[in-house]
Amino acid sequence: MQQSIPRPRLESAIRRGLSEAPVVALLGARQVGKTTLAEQVVSARNGPAVIFDLEVRAERAALTATPERLLRSTEGLVVIDEIQRMPELFEVLRPICDARARKAVFLVLGSASLDLIEGVSETLAGRVLFVDVGGFSLAEVGPENQDRLWLRGGFPRAYLASSGGAWSRWMESFARTFLERDIPGLGSRVAPAALGRFWRMLAHYHGQTWNAAELARSMDVSVTAVRNYRDLLAGSFMIRLLPPWFENLGKRLVKSPKVFLRDSGILHSLLGIEGTMELAVHPRYGASWEGFALEQTLLEHGEREAYFYGTQRGAELDLLLLRRGRRWGFEFKCTDAPRTTKSMHVVIRDLGLERLWVVYPGDVEYPLTDTITALPLKRIGDISLR
């Protein structure tokens, strides 16, 4: 297995952003490869460049003492890594971006969403372009590595680990560091043990509709507490809250989000799954495939305008994407031979879908009806949503 994997699509998006805006923000979970991408952009760029790593005490101290003077005088490309450690820098960057004599463009890397960093989500409005960085995609690692990516997840060091044991140890270390250092670094006072227990419990609810009251009872804490735990994990890119789609259809619709652990490797680690055979017999096998295929679909086709659909009578659609006024549906089935269901026909009629794809782990694409197609996940990037 190669020890580095090119990510040309992301590198291209970063370079394009730097040519169009004074600030480009790379947002994604820790250890997902943001720093490596930034270093690759720096090495390929002509002209001066400087990198500030806010996890290094001396560099953090320098930017604490005279941030505006230092950043205003710097030329070329300025990279600021782990910017969530000093959110006040967003206020410093705003006038610098607006100055006619600006000498630099800024690439900021963050492991927390701007909504989680209170007061900065709108500071750079109109001055910043965002590039979301997820784990490795199937397009990046190659379709022949689908099962490895599904089992280990997309964190580079986890996916590239030399053995199953090395993967397991890395996952344990990552989880401990995240809970004991990263979350407190965001100013949270949540006890690491409590958040870890919630995180592990959420793995068993992966792919289910959010039910704060049930989780609160299970943990013997308040509903407010579990919502706080949820928001911390969502804001640090550990979980995805997939919102429901609802409109006036004359039906009782599900109106709570679905909750997924974004990375299948973290899911499997929290569930105690260490190998393919263990995964295949685990009760969360189908839910694991749904989350993995969902993330791969969103990596290929974007996260904007993404929903699930469900009625109280049981009609469901795993993923609804709205693109250019048209609606596209996806069902994720971990089976060798997908078939149509009554629910599929209902949601096509309810939502007016252009097409519904049943995404499965196999190799052959084939029609199920005029509007429903069985689609191998490895071909998810081949379809056009136009």
What local confidence, expressed as pLDDT, does residue 252 receive? 64
> What is the pLDDT confidence band of residue 248, given thresholds at 50, 70 and 90?
low
CB of 238 within 8 A of CB of 135? no
Backbone dihedral region for residue 142 (phi beyond 0: left; psi -120 to 50: alpha; all else: beta): left
pLDDT of residue 249: 58
User: Where in the chain are the domains?
Assistant: 8-132, 138-382
**CA 349, CA 344: separation in Å to the nearest integer?**
9
- pLDDT one-digit tens code per residue, 100-127: 889 899 999 999 887 766 556 567 888 8
Q: Residue 207: how many CB atoms within 10 A of its CB? A: 21
Length of the chain (residues): 386
Task: Tell me the C-alpha distance between 56 and 35, whole Å.
Answer: 14
The reported pTM is: 0.94
Residue 303: predicted pLDDT: 93
* Tens-digit pLDDT profile for residues 130-164: 999 999 999 999 999 999 999 999 999 999 999 99
Q: Is residue 114 exposed (0-12), middle (13-18) or buried (19+ Cβ within 10 Å)?
A: buried
Percent of the chain exceeding pLDDT 90 equals: 81
CA distance 306 to 326: 12
Contact assessment for residue 341 and residue 355, using Cβ atoms and an 8 Å cutoff: no
Per the DSSP assignment, residues forming a β-bridge with 277 are: none
Q: Worst-scoring range by mean pLDDT, 70-79, 160-169, 256-265, 309-318?
A: 309-318
> Stretch 8-23: mean pLDDT, rounded?
95
Q: What is the pLDDT of residues 18-46, one digit of tens each?
A: 999 999 999 999 999 999 999 999 999 98
Judge contact between 299 and 231, C-beta under 8 A.
no
pLDDT band at 298; cut points 50, 70, 90: very high
Rounded to the nearest angstrom, the gap between the alpha carbon of residue 357 and the centroid of all alpha carbons in its chain is: 22
CA-angle at 96, arms to 187 and 82, nearest 5°: 30
The number of CA neighbours under 13 Å toward the Cβ of 75 is 4
> Residue 340 forms beta bridges with which residues?
none
pLDDT of residue 246: 80
Q: Strand 372-376 to strand 306-310: parallel, antiparallel, or no bridges (unpaired)?
A: unpaired
Contacts 24+ apart (CB under 8 A), 39-48: 40/11, 41/11, 41/14, 41/15, 41/77, 41/107, 42/77, 42/79, 44/11, 44/15, 45/15, 45/76, 45/77, 47/75, 47/76, 47/77, 48/75, 48/76, 48/77
Q: What is the pLDDT of residue 253?
A: 66
Which residue type is seen at 181? R
CA–CA dist 229, 102 (Å, integer):
40
8-132 is classed CATH 3.40.50.300: yes
What's residue 114's pLDDT? 73
- Give me the pLDDT at residue 287, please: 98
Integer Cα distance of 349 and 261 in angstroms: 30
